[in-house]
Structure 1
């Protein structure tokens, strides 16, 4: 009787372990799918908004450059001044805000990746 009972317990343990592995596999598959889907959605949204904002910024830039150029009676100088302004902004962002931006992206990405709801 004792040997038969032990054999049934081992078989039950084997089945439970196999079920646990299968359920764990399914859980992690769904978790990875959710993370990839959220990342893809965020990337597509960012690209669409980025393209629209880039177009708007381009038109506003042309308008400002034309305004400055007509104000100075030299269109080329208006575009040059605005171009130098954007270079100055880029340098300030690169050297002044790079660590802050990296930290914000890391925090946002880790919340999205490790959040299990």
Structure 2
């Protein structure tokens, strides 16, 4: 039996062009770090009326008494936002409880 030839009207499927653009990958948008909302890093003086212990440092903050000045501490990431610390230009007089004591400063 003879095979029928396709007529000229019927087209054979052609391979698609390789020039079709590939799906674009999404561009990454840089994410900016949020601004810290608490106090800025620096040296702060303890101003509360009673001593306190900050376990995350660890630091025992002392109030000013007749024989001892209030704790002045250098907070590298900012002091706790609990209203007990005021910025100061004094030199730190206390290190973290697990660090060696600071040398006394002359003010």
TM-score, normalised to structure 1, is: 0.30
Q: Which structure is higher in helix share? A: 1
Q: Which has the larger radius of gyration?
A: 2
TM-score, normalised to structure 2, is: 0.32
